[in-house]
Amino acid sequence: MKFKKNVTVIVQSSEEEGSGPTTITCDGPLVVDYDKNIAHFKENVVTQDSRGKLTANMMDVYYNRVSRRVSKIVAVGDVVIENPDGNKTFSDSVIYLAEEGRIILGGDTEALYYGGEGPEGLEKGIF
């Protein structure tokens, strides 16, 4: 299945996850490969829920066909992770392992984080 442009997908989380729904938008196209359980989002992809926002040029979202839950996200190209507290991480690529709650950063990576003092206490870390 292929959606050509201006795509919005809302993924409901389970009650135990407590993060509320996740919204994924992209300029398109979105191509869904049902045989491989992958949704390929392209062009200005934004994934957002109560835990923060992940943006990238492209994202492959892997899902469990039975539970209908996201199992993994692979984001590539100008990836930015932004937490609700304003901390940001920039990298070339990100692998998010949903079941483990783990993020793997790839390529050039840079992090901007606040030391609890707000923007005036901005510190910069490079990994």
Tell me what pLDDT residue 14 has: 52
Cis, bond preceding 29 (omega within 30 deg of 0): yes
pTM score over 0.85: no
Of residues 115 and 78, more confidently modeled? 78
Q: What CA–CA distance (Å, rounded) separates 111 from 9?
A: 28
The one-letter code for the residue type at 45 is V
The residue-averaged pLDDT of 65-85 equals 89
Tell me what pLDDT residue 28 has: 84
- List, in sequence order, every residue forming a beta bridge with 124; answer none if it has no partner: 112
Going by pLDDT thresholds of 50, 70 and 90, the confidence category of residue 122 is: very low
The residue-averaged pLDDT of 80-97 equals 91
Assigned token pair, 42: 């392209």
What is the percent of the chain where pLDDT is above 70?
Answer: 82
Whether 64 contacts 37, CB under 8 Å? yes
- Helix, strand, coil percentages in the chain from 3-state DSSP, rounded to 5: 0, 65, 35
Taking all residues of the chain, what is their mean pLDDT, rounded to a whole number? 82
Give 119's Cβ-side CA count (13 Å radius): 1
Q: What CA–CA distance (Å, rounded) separates 78 from 65?
A: 29
Which domains does the chain show, CATH number per domain? 2-126 (2.60.450.10)
Whether 24 contacts 61, CB under 8 Å? yes
Tell me what pLDDT residue 13 has: 61
Tell me what pLDDT residue 123 has: 45
pLDDT at 68 over 80: no
